């Protein structure tokens, strides 16, 4: 589904990714772990197409197409979802209006009919319920006044509504208390653990992986994957630290 080959990228002229390669197949969950400054968030932003993150070499193929040639909204319509480490506040724009417009824009790009207001609200209510989020919160402006944990749960509600094929989740576990961590973990499983979908979890810690069991764990350091293994690698890292492994 996703084939990253020898990816090089820089931010403000500073090289961050230096030869990152990774293959993700449908039905798989991958965890990318690594110390601060390793390039974890940059990986997410480059895949999402954030302006200012310049690819200087390598390739990314997603579902047989050149992902890097697509605009951010085209990547979303193609089924990519980027979960933000710091979800952005958009004053004045309600979650419901934003997500309905976003979903219908994606559907239009895929040649599907738009969802009516009623159909959309039914879908939103179902996904909000999955993340135990009150519908009233979805009527409020996007992320404005939400706590750190509420923002992350709202991200997962967005993911549920948009129903992507590939989710790149950047530190979804940061800022979560124990209960919210479990709710988000269960949400990720319910929405994304399917034979035709895949997830890349970017995280510092093992704890999210207790709920979302990865098939593969990779260590990112110095802008490239330096070690890959099964779920046991995350436990080794937690016990021995990155320095012992990198």
Partner 1 sequence: MSASPLPTRKDEDFRYADLAALERVWPVAVETIALGAGESRALVIVPEGGQVARQLAITLAPGARFDLRVLNAGHAYGRVALDVRLEAGANFTLGAAQVGGGAEVLEIVTNVVHAGPDAQSRQVIRSVLGGQATGTYLGKVLVARGADGTDGEQSVRAMLLERTATANARPELEIYADDVKCAHGCAVGELDATGLFYLESRGLPPAQAKRLMLQAFLAEAFVGAEAEEELNAAALAALEALL
Name which of 69 and 109 has its Cβ closer to partner 1. Answer: 109
Q: In the set 37, 65, 73, 194, which binds partner 1 (CB under 8 A)?
A: 73
Dig out the tokens for 112 from the structure: 């599907």
DSSP E strand boundaries for 40-193: 53-62, 65-66, 80-83, 90-94, 141-142, 166-170
Q: In the set 106, 172, 203, 206, which binds partner 1 (CB under 8 A)?
A: 106
Dig out the tokens for 233 from the structure: 């690698």
Q: Residue 167 pairs with which residues in a beta bridge?
A: 81, 199
Contact status: 72 vs partner 1 (CB under 8 A): yes
Helix (H, G, I), strand (E, B) or coil at 81: strand
Contact status: 93 vs partner 1 (CB under 8 A): yes
Contact status: 101 vs partner 1 (CB under 8 A): yes
Give the total of residues touching partner 1 (CB under 8 A): 31
Q: Which of 31, 58, 48, 34 is nearest to 222 (CA)?
A: 34
Contact status: 109 vs partner 1 (CB under 8 A): yes
Q: Which of 194, 191, 151 is nearest to 173 (CA)?
A: 151
Q: First and final CA of the chain: distance in angstroms? A: 28
Q: Please count the other Cβ atoms lying within 10 Å of the Cβ belonging to residue 136.
A: 8
Contact status: 131 vs partner 1 (CB under 8 A): no
**What whole-number distance in Å separates Cα of residue 138 and Cα of residue 141?**
8
Contact status: 158 vs partner 1 (CB under 8 A): yes
Contact status: 92 vs partner 1 (CB under 8 A): yes
Contact status: 175 vs partner 1 (CB under 8 A): no
Residue 65 per-residue DSSP state:
E
Contact status: 54 vs partner 1 (CB under 8 A): no
**What whole-number distance in Å separates Cα of residue 157 and Cα of residue 179?**
16
Name which of 202 and 217 has its Cβ closer to partner 1. Answer: 202
Q: In the set 2, 31, 46, 82, which binds partner 1 (CB under 8 A)?
A: 82
Q: Which stretch binds partner 1 (CB under 8 A): 19-27, 55-63, 97-105, 222-230?
A: 97-105
Q: In the set 69, 90, 135, 235, which binds partner 1 (CB under 8 A)?
A: 90
Residue ranges that bind partner 1, judged by CB under 8 A: 48-51, 71-73, 75-77, 82, 84, 87-93, 97-99, 101-103, 105-106, 109, 141, 158, 162
């Amino acid at each position: 589904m996703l084939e990253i080959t020898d990816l090089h990228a820089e931010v403000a002229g500073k090289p961050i990714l230096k030869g990152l390669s990774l293959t993700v197949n449908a039905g798989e969950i991958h965890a990318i772990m690594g110390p601060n400054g390793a390039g974890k968030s940059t990986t997410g932003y480059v895949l999402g197409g954030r302006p200012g993150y310049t690819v200087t070499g390598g390739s990314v193929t997603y579902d047989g197409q050149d992902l890097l040639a697509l605009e951010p909204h085209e990547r979303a319509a193609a089924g990519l979802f980027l979960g933000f480490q710091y979800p952005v506040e958009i004053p004045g724009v309600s979650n419901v209006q934003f997500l309905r417009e976003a979903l219908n824009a994606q559907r239009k790009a895929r040649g599907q009919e738009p969802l009516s207001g009623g159909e959309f609200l039914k879908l939103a209510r179902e996904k909000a319920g999955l993340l135990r989020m009150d519908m009233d919160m979805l009527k409020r402006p996007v992320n404005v006044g939400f706590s750190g944990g509420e923002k992350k749960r709202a991200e997962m509600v967005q993911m549920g509504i948009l129903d992507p094929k590939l989710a790149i989740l950047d530190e979804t576990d940061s800022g979560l208390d124990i209960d919210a961590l479990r709710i988000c973990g269960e949400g990720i499983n319910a929405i994304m653990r399917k034979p035709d979908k895949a997830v890349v979890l970017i995280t510092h810690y093992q704890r999210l992986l207790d709920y979302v069991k990865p098939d593969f764990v990779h260590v990112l350091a110095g802008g490239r994957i330096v070690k890959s293994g099964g779920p046991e690698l995350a436990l080794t890292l937690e016990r021995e630290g990155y320095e012992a492994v990198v």
